[in-house]
Chains A and B, each alone.
Chain A
Amino acid sequence: MTETALATVLIAMLGGAIRVSTPFMFVALGECLTEKSGRINLGLEGNLVLGAMVAYAVSYLSGNPWLGVLAAGGSGLCLGAMHGYICKLPKVNDIAVGIAMMSFGIGVAFFFGKPFIQPTAPRLTSIPLGDWTGSTTLAQALQVNPLFFIGIALAFAMSWAFSNTRWGLIVRMTGDSAASARAMGVSVDLVRFLATSAGGFLAGIGGAFLSLYYPGSWNEGLSSGQGLMAVALVIFARWDPIRCIWAALLFGAAGALGPSLQAVGITQGYYFFNAAPYILTLFIMIASARSKAAVRDVPGELSITK
């Protein structure tokens, strides 16, 4: 590979990573919050798809894409609240409910989304950060959507809140030991309900990014499983919001590798790069399954890691 080709690939990957990673970031932060409270929501794929549809529809009908983003969050909040409410009932399996919520959310999105496949809705505008470079490819790659920065800011805010606020402590305590939370007079069900709802809200916003920015239209094949992979991403990030950003960027870069290699004429083999984050996550799980350092990071109440 020549040097210019390598540069093309790297720049395309950078731009791709920034673009592709944003929805990953939001679902991962949402899932992180939910899992920190000791519950797992496998249904964020449904939130993502429904969020994408709602955002597109609201943006089309109102003409304001940011209203769409908010509405997407609201739809995600509803699904998250449903999950949170159902899972607080005894004997209900949170993993299965998550998968059921996924099929429910996707069904609702496809049902109401039919009329919005054709029209073009106003999309989110991006901030051109690369104009100073004088290179069109770099400028193209550095067209960054504000949601990307909101996601990063949110991750830092979450990280700070987990360690420095009363609410953060309550969420972590609920996730680590429901018994001690109860002993402190905290309503475990309420905390988990709120955490799942808020997590759903974030996943909905991730969906809005898909339909309003990149790829930038609503259709039924919009999501390629980002919502489901959020679970893997959070494990990869070991339940740390800041590490969630890095993980999302890595997943995004791996996803962007295929198309950017295609740009320089390499069309084969990139499926393994697409699968690379999953393989990596699996290896991390294998390596950390019995290590003490990993156990320290895992919320103790989480059903999948017990």
Chain B
Amino acid sequence: MTIEAVAVSKPSAGIVNVKTLKIAEAFAIPILALIASGVIFSIFLFVLGKSPVQFFSLIWKGGFGSGFSIQQSLQRSAPLILTGLAFAVPAQIGLTIIGAEGALVLGGFAAAAIAIPLVTVAIPPFLTLPLMALAAIIAGGFWIGLTGWLKHYRGVNETIASLLLSYIAIAIMNFFVEGALRDPASANKPSTMPIGDSYMIGTMPGTNVQWGFAAGIALAILLQILMTRTTFGFAARMTGGNARAAQAQGLPVGFLVVACCAIAGACAGLAGFFEVAAIHGQANASLVAGYGFTGILVAFLARQNPVAVIPVAILFGAIDAAGGLIQRRMGMPDATVLVLQGIIFVVLLTSDTLYGRFAIFQPKATGDRT
């Protein structure tokens, strides 16, 4: 039975059907778009004289084919989950924040910076790591929270402000990393002092996956509950729907805006902490890896739904993880996966236009359709 048929035959069947329809739509359209981007990419490969079948089987193998590759995929998805959340949460209150990159960098830098004195006086890791995480959360939360504050109290557009603040954050890190906090041993690539192997956070027991993945899952579930099951989340989503109405109802709109932004920044900052404590061991230019921007697209594909961010991030982590295998086996440049990702992003975002096309009882579009 098609979606239209359900909607037509049981107009009075009520909320339940509408809800299931929406969920079905939210699954069907992205899957359709994924298939479409696969087809487009296959044509691309075909034109280049490469085998699409081999390519996609390698993606499967490199992403999910063995225990090792699954762990690689999960490992790489960790920062994407967190930066995806950093976009998804403010999106619920109607804000388009694209500055997670800066919050991640600043969070990672704050973690590495606070670790220097702690490691020097040999505070044990079980105290140091939480303090580093806290520093990262505060730094990131403050940075995006500032964007929210500027938006609500000064009327500054949050999209551009967060982009600008992102560049300022990177400059702040560079300033310290190349100056006051530079480790003299880091000759070619200015970095802060390494926190040392004994302070690295390590992997989850029995796996090669960093703790950032567990933190991402836990946060995604927590934020899902916060946004859908609490008064805070309800008020935030109501503000996202109509800020003026929310204000008229006496909701603390300013607080909600700043809080949602601070939560977003905390997620991105935490991603920075895990980059430092689980991967790099120090803050340097490697933190500016574009996770913040990929996170935006991850959140869009998850339709701003915190829990849905997880599978999307894992998918992109897997594509990323399979890059090396494709490079070796097919003799194609590592940028191949970038092309595939780019095509998926563009097609999936284009598929947004399909929402609501399959049901008859949609309100007629009014005003401009830009």
Contacts and interface: CB of A to CB of B under 8 A. Distances in A.
Interface of A: 38-39, 42, 82, 86-97, 99-108, 110-111, 113-114, 178-179, 182, 188, 192, 225, 228-229, 231-232, 235, 268-269, 271-272, 274-275, 278-279, 281-282, 285-286, 289-290, 301, 303-305
A39 B369 CA distance: 12
B98 A114 contact: no
B159 interface: yes
Contacts of B293: 99, 102-103
B171 A271 contact: yes
B352 interface: yes
B179 A269 contact: yes
A290 to B, nearest CB: 5
B349 A90 contact: no
Contacts of B345: 99-100, 103-104
Contacts of A268: 178-179
A88 B370 CA distance: 6
Give the one of B296, B342, B352 with max A CB within 10 A: B342
B300 A96 contact: yes
Interface string B138-179: 000000000000100011110111011101100110110011
Contact of A96 (B161, B340, B349): B349
B230 interface: no
Contacts, number: 153
Contacts of A95: 96, 98, 159
A107 B341 contact: yes
| Chain A residues touching B, majority SS | helix
B187 to A, nearest CB: 14
Contacts of B23: none
Interface of B: 96, 98, 150, 154-157, 159-161, 163-165, 167-168, 171-172, 174-175, 178-179, 293-294, 296-297, 300, 333, 335-336, 338-343, 345-346, 348-350, 352-353, 355-356, 365, 367-370
Give the one of A232, A268, A275 with max B CB within 10 A: A275
A269 B175 contact: yes
Contacts of A278: 164, 167-168, 171
| Chain B residues touching A, majority SS | helix
6 contacts: A88-B370, A91-B355, A110-B335, A179-B368, A275-B168, A285-B164
B157 A304 contact: yes
Contacts of B160: 231-232, 235, 285, 304
A228 B288 CA distance: 15
B161 A285 contact: yes
Contact of B154 (A82, A86, A286): A286
